[in-house]
Structure 1
Amino acid sequence: MAYSNEDVLNKATEVAKSLEELEEVQTFKALKARLDQNQKVKDKISAIKQLQKQAVNLQAYGKTNAVKALDVEIDQIQAEIDQLPIVEEFKSNQVVVNDILKQMIASIDHQVNRVPE
């Protein structure tokens, strides 16, 4: 049986909706929403962005030592963010969701590239 592009795209939409209903994806979305609303994370990200802007300006003036110092400060703030329980939980769940997507892509790749007998 031959399928049209539209048939395949419709099926892809169905699969996407099914994925969205997985517990792991629901958890991922809930964690992302909590993370997006976390003021502590927002403040730290804002601080990083400010430091990055300063680093760009200093780099334009050839102030490499000052840029290195800002890079260290940025790395410290990023480490603080990464240690927050909500961030750790989000990253862990993100790995699970990415694995599901990789498995799905590998399955599609296998079907598309298999040689008929």
Structure 2
Amino acid sequence: MEKKYTKEEIIEKAYEIAHMIANTEQVDFFKRAEAQINENQKVRESISSLKSLQKQAVNFQQYGKERALNIIEGKISNIEEEIDAIPIVQEFKQSQGEVNELLQLVSTTIANGVTNEVIKSTDGDLLRGETGSYVKNTTYNHLQ
């Protein structure tokens, strides 16, 4: 009989995986890029301007000032483009994407692994993705 795991044991393993992910090259690069962004005066000033404009946009939107809102949104868009054009920001976004990809891969692997384990443990059909009880019941129903 296979060992049964507790929720606590599973959470402990999840922390282990989180620790492993936090110590990958991707996360290392992400942290370095973030630090460089935070140290970059131009980026800090642009982000500060962006936040200020976003607050103004919210106010204009609340008071129905469409023309003013459109002008502010144009300025916001220009600043976002300027920020995105900075090489370290591009590298940061790329590393962020790689970390998210890794997290998604782990999540999908776990979900698919659980599904496959359930199918196998119930003598189901892996190719069809059907559990044993489903296979037995639909086979039985088709025979009648």
Which of 42, 48, 62 is the equivalent residue of 1:60? Answer: 62
State the superposition RMSD in angstroms: 1.3
Alpha-carbon distance between aligned partners in 2 of 1:113 and 1:96, rounded to the nearest angstrom? 26
5 Å-filtered alignment, 1:1-117, equals 1-114=3-116, 115-116=119-120, 117=123
Partner secondary structure for residue 104 of structure 1: helix
Partner secondary structure for residue 109 of structure 1: helix
CA drift at 1:51: 1.3
Number of residue pairs matched by the alignment: 117
- The TM-score normalised by the length of structure 1 is 0.91
Detail structure 1 runs of 4+ shifted over 3 Å in the superposition: none
Alpha-carbon distance between aligned partners in 1 of 2:97 and 2:53, rounded to the nearest angstrom? 29
What amino acid does structure 2 have at the position aligned with 1:3?
Y
Q: Percent identity?
A: 40
Of the two structures, which has the highest relative contact order with CA contacts closer than 8 Å and spacing of 6 or more? Answer: 1
Gaps of 5+ in 1: none
CA drift at 1:89: 0.6
